[in-house]
């Protein structure tokens, strides 16, 4: 595993905006170990494909766009590790690495979107260049482009989402779809950063999001760091804060939107969507086009990752369930499109009928 290069355990809110979770430097990826937040800010230095695979699989890096960006750099590392001078062998190494990285997690479609984009680019480059150094430099440029594009994509999602929220509104979110899950700004959290910049006061309510606590450890952390008004809730409080009239909208991220608008997102999202509908509260999904998968017909076709039992039977190292108890630990659930008020993308906002409105986004 890469070396640790910094630790700042005294965390104070700053107005620096979202904390960046990824930094690429020529032949290594500096990656914020999100398992250790919020107590420790530790960046790992990753220089091998296997380290990238491990970081994705063990959720040191998580969030659909951040996973895709990391995997793209993993493919670059594979190309750089090739020591021969035969382009056909180089491309074989690229495809082998991409297929290996594709096994790290199954649900977030950004992983496969980024890997396919890198494989396609590598194939095109290998038809143009025979020099391995040139191939590697050109392929790295594609990964950097994926990284840079995501920052602009998230900002645009924020711009399209912001008009949905009025000053003084309470907005509930689930899991972490913030700067830590992306290149910067986040998807669902992007409007909160823009609102802060523009003096629009929103009250964010963040579900803690068991079992990995992305809401408590990551969303509450990054919004507090940015000076955004955030209140932490346990996952069983969404109903009461809605009943109290504290919530005027819900916005979440997503790991895969199916062609019919069904949305896979962190476990617990479906329950929040049902509660929102029952209280007449709009339920928005922030999604880059890279997370919309028109080749997946509906939510029933989205592979749902099941994660280790220990995430549920232990609470940060302390056993909280009897040994041998049966456990069900799906990392995601699917919200049927009927519960989705609108999907906010970098190209604009789409609403039902998603089967026809989603493909239009790819034509603009
Ligand atoms: C902007 S994508 C964020 C998305 O990814 C999270 O899952 P995980 O933490 O397991 O990678 C969650 O579903 C978020 O909504």
Q: Do the domain assignments include residue 128?
A: yes
CB < 8 Å & 24+ apart, contacts of 346-351 = 346/152, 346/153, 346/154, 346/156, 346/157, 346/160, 346/288, 346/289, 347/156, 347/289, 348/160, 349/160, 349/161, 349/164
CATH, residue 233: 3.40.50.10470
Mean pLDDT for the chain overall: 95
Does 65 sit in the ligand 1 pocket, CB within 6 Å? Answer: yes
Query: Looking at the structure, do residues 103 and 163 belong to the same domain, yes or no?
Result: no
Q: Are residues 171 and 318 in the same domain?
A: yes
Ligand 1: residue of 63, 111, 174, 299 to mutate (most ligand atoms within 8 A of CB) is: 63
Together in a domain, 28 and 151: yes
* pLDDT higher than 90, residue 15: no
The answer to whether residue 16 sits within a structural domain is no
What is the tally of structural domains in the chain?
2
Residue 172 lies in a domain: yes
CATH number at residue 83: 1.20.120.420
Q: What confidence tier does 20 reach under pLDDT thresholds 50, 70, 90?
A: confident
If pLDDT is split at 50, 70 and 90, which confidence band does 9 have?
very low
Residue with CA at minimum distance from ligand 1 atom 1: 177
Q: Are residues 126 and 275 in the same domain?
A: no
DSSP secondary structure, 239-266, as one string: HHHHHTT--SEEEE--SEEETTS-EEEE
> Strand, helix or coil at 206?
strand
In a domain, 6, yes or no: no
What are the pLDDT digits (tens) for 330-344?
A: 999 999 999 999 999
Name the band, by pLDDT with cuts 50, 70 and 90, for residue 19: confident
Q: Which helix (H) or strand (E) holds 95?
A: helix 87-101
CA–CA dist 181, 66 (Å, integer): 5
pLDDT digits (tens, 9 = 90+) for 110-120: 999 999 999 99
State the pLDDT confidence band at 364, using cuts at 50, 70 and 90. confident
Query: Do 55 and 166 fall within a single domain?
Result: no
Same domain, yes or no, for 186 and 325? yes
Burial of 10: CB neighbours in 10 Å, binned 0-12, 13-18, 19+: exposed
Chosen domain end from 140, 155, 170? 155
Paired strand residues for 347: none
Which sequence positions are flagged as catalytic?
A: 255
Do 172 and 269 reside in the same domain of the chain?
yes
Nearby residues of 185 by Cβ (< 8 Å), 6 or more positions away: 18, 151, 154, 155, 157, 158, 178, 179, 193, 194
Prediction pTM value: 0.95
Q: Give the pLDDT band (50/70/90) at residue 287.
A: very high
Q: 214 a known binding residue?
A: yes
Is residue 162 one of the residues assigned to a domain? yes
Residue 267 sits in the same domain as residue 196: yes
Looking at ligand 1, which atom is closest to the CA of residue 110? Answer: 2
DSSP annotation of 324 = T
pLDDT band, very low/low/confident/very high, at 318 (cuts 50, 70, 90): very high
- Regarding whether 220 and 111 lie in a shared domain, the answer is no
**Among 155, 176, 192, where does a domain finish?**
155
The answer to whether residue 12 scores a pLDDT higher than 60 is no
What range does the domain containing 308 cover?
158-361
Does pLDDT of 41 surpass 50?
A: yes
Q: Are residues 149 and 170 in the same domain?
A: no
Q: How many helices (H) and strands (E) does the chain have?
A: 12, 16
- Is 9 part of a structural domain of the chain? no
Examine the predicted complex and report whether its ipTM is higher than 0.85: yes
Closest atom, ligand 1, to C-alpha of 305: 10
Ligand 1 pocket mutation, candidates 68, 70, 175, 219, criterion most atoms within 8 A of CB: 175
Instruction: Give the C-alpha distances (Å, rounded to integers) separating 136 from 4, 66, 119, 129.
Output: 26, 22, 12, 10
Together in a domain, 212 and 314? yes
Q: Which of 117, 133, 155 delimits the end of a domain?
A: 155
Query: Residue 63 annotated as binding?
Result: yes
Residues 251 and 295 in one domain: yes
Q: Provide mean pLDDT across the span 182-193.
A: 96
Q: State pLDDT tens for residues 59-116.
A: 999 999 999 999 999 999 999 999 999 999 999 999 999 999 999 999 999 999 999 9
């Amino acid at each position: 595993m890469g070396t640790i290069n910094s630790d700042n355990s005294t965390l104070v809110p700053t107005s620096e905006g979202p904390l960046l979770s990824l930094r690429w430097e020529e032949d290594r990826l500096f990656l914020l170990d999100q398992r250790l937040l919020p107590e420790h800010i530790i960046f790992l230095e990753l220089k091998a494909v296997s380290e990238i695979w491990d970081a994705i699989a063990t959720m040191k890096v998580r969030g659909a766009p951040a996973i895709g960006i990391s995997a793209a750099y993993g493919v670059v590392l594979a190309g750089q590790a090739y020591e021969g001078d035969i382009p056909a062998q180089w491309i074989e190494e690229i495809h082998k690495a991409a297929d290996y990285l594709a096994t790290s997690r199954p649900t977030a479609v950004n992983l496969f979107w980024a890997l396919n984009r890198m494989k396609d680019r590598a194939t095109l480059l290998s038809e143009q260049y025979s020099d391995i150094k040139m191939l590697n430099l050109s392929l790295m440029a594609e990964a950097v482009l994926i990284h840079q594009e995501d920052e602009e994509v998230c900002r645009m999602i924020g711009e399209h989402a912001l008009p949905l929220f009025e000053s003084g509104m309470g907005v509930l979110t689930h899991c972490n779809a913030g700067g830590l899950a992306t290149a910067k700004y986040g998807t669902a959290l992007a409007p909160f950063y823009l609102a802060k910049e523009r003096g629009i006061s929103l009250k964010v309510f963040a579900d803690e999001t068991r079992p990995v606590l992305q809401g408590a450890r990551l969303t509450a952390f990054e919004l507090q760091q940015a000076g955004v008004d955030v209140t932490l809730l346990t996952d069983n409080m969404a109903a009461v804060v809605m009943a109290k009239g504290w919530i005027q909208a819900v916005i979440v991220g997503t790991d895969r939107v199916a062609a019919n608008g069904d949305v896979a997102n962190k476990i617990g999202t479906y329950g929040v969507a049902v509660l929102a509908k029952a209280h007449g509260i709009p339920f928005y999904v922030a999604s880059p086009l890279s997370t919309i998968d028109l080749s997946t017909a509906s939510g029933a076709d989205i592979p749902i990752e099941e994660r280790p039992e220990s995430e549920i039977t232990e609470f940060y190292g302390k056993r909280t369930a009897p040994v041998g108890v049966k456990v069900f630990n799906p990392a995601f659930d699917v919200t049927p499109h009927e519960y989705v008020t609108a999907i906010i993308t970098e190209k604009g906002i789409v609403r039902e009928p998603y089967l026809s409105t989603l493909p239009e986004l790819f034509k603009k």
